[in-house]
Amino acid sequence: MKGTQQYNIKSPPSASKSIFSDIKLFLFNKPKERTLVKVDSSSKKQNYTHSILQRIEIDVDKYKVLNIHRIGIEAPASYVFNELLNWNGESKCWPNHIAKASRVNNKIEQIKIYLFGRDNFLFGKNLFHLFNLNAIKIQKNPISTDFDNARYLLYECSGGYPIGIFAMYVRTSIPERREKELSQIFFVVGFDFYGKNWGKRKSPFNILWEKIHNRVTENVLNRFKQLSEWRFEKLQNGIK
């Protein structure tokens, strides 16, 4: 009974059933935890983003990071990373009815994102194809010199959407940084073709795009935290 009571404390995120529920859950919903990493000066932001990029072996002079999101999860880093490896078009954490993630040959190394979850062709062209994610490197196990069990998925993006790189980075929490959960997950988005000038191009469109991106990312991470902790709690209590 004790295990059952612990299990009832948490629940999985609700499933999205349509484009409209995607909009409600990922855009209009106010996330429980704010995940955008904020710094109080441009120099501190540069130092912070450079430290992340260097850990995932990205040229800090080539890419400009738009932002970094982070959330703590009460599950070991190895378990959280394995949850990331399950990412596909059925995930409850991703707005699949708006932008479906479809693996190529069922492999995490190459993912295609389709608008409204459609991959239909018209006159030889896929009008619903947003962009591709092609893995640059996937580090499934920490290297021997790591002190924080770091693992990550690093992708190069192409095909229309203005992203140069996308990384999902997981490590053990560091108490000295006031991190209380067992692990931390970071979503890093970098730009290339209008990346280095992003901060200087504060057009209304760019500002709106960034706000939408941040809100969706915050909800994705909050839902991923909820799903990971729910599943890990079930595992601890021997519940299938």
Q: Which residues contact 191 (CB under 8 A, 6 or more apart)?
A: 63, 64, 65, 66, 162, 163, 164, 198
Give the Cβ contact number of residue 11 at 10 Å. Answer: 11
User: Which tens digits make up the pLDDT trace of 130-161?
Assistant: 788 899 889 998 887 777 888 999 998 877 66
DSSP structural state of residue 74: S
How far is 95 from 114, CA to CA, in rounded Å?
Answer: 11
How far is 181 from 224, CA to CA, in rounded Å?
Answer: 14
User: Which tens digits make up the pLDDT trace of 165-199?
Assistant: 888 999 999 999 889 999 999 998 876 544 444 44
User: Which tens digits make up the pLDDT trace of 27-64?
Assistant: 999 999 999 988 777 777 777 777 777 777 776 666 66
> What is the spatial order of strands in the sheet that 151-158 belongs to?
64-73, 183-191, 165-172, 151-158, 129-139, 107-115, 99-104
| Element of type H or E holding 186 | strand 183-191
Q: Which residues contact 37 (CB under 8 A, 6 or more apart)?
A: 48, 67, 68, 69, 70
Q: Are strands 64-73 and 107-115 parallel, antiparallel or unpaired?
A: unpaired
Fold annotation for 36-88+134-236:
Alpha-D-Glucose-1,6-Bisphosphate; Chain A, domain 4 (3.30.530)
Residue type, 203: S
